[in-house]
């Protein structure tokens, strides 16, 4: 897709993995800037929209709240004067993601320990037959 081509909402949904409903919702609540419309009045998404949607999806996957995503989108819209505020918001979120990864790693270790325990029990039960 070049800089002048656009995608329909269905094509954008397929490309991003988001539903058409989610795309409309993101636009309605201000996460996504108003999307250009074609002569038929239907949304036409540009490459910049797709790049922004990819970033929003990453924020959601990492557990950022819609509220914080909206704050980030508003700061982004305000321009470079908000770079420090955006840096702070993303830095705090990164710290939270790192804490969550550490929690998950601890939980994975506990699962591995239990799996090893039950493998041993199962092997012993089989050898006694």
Reported as a single tens digit per residue, the pLDDT across 19-49 is: 999 999 999 999 999 999 999 999 999 999 9
Domain ranges of the chain: 9-127
Reported as a single tens digit per residue, the pLDDT across 47-99 is: 999 999 999 999 999 999 999 999 999 999 999 999 999 999 999 999 999 99
Mean model confidence pLDDT for the chain: 95
- Written as six digits, the tokens of 54 are 């990819």
DSSP element (H, E) containing 56: helix 47-61
CATH of 9-127, one of 1.10.1660.10, 1.20.1250.20, 3.40.50.620, 3.30.70.940: 1.10.1660.10
The pLDDT of residue 47 is 96
Q: Would you say the pTM of this structure is higher than 0.75?
A: yes
- The position carrying tokens 């505020």 is 85
Q: What are phi and psi of 112, to 5 degrees?
A: -60, -40
């Amino acid at each position: 897709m070049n800089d002048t081509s656009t995608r329909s909402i269905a094509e954008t949904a397929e490309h991003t993995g988001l539903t058409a409903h989610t795309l409309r919702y993101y636009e309605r609540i201000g996460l996504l800037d108003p999307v250009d419309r074609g002569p038929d009045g239907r949304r036409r998404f540009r490459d910049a929209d797709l790049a922004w949607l990819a970033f929003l999806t990453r924020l959601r996957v990492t557990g950022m709240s819609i509220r914080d995503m909206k704050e980030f989108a508003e700061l982004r819209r305000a321009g470079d004067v908000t770079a420090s505020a955006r840096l702070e918001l993303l830095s705090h979120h990164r710290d939270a993601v790192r804490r969550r990864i550490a929690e998950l790693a601890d939980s994975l270790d506990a699962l591995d320990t239990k799996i090893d325990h039950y493998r041993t029990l199962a092997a012993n039960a089989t050898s006694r037959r």
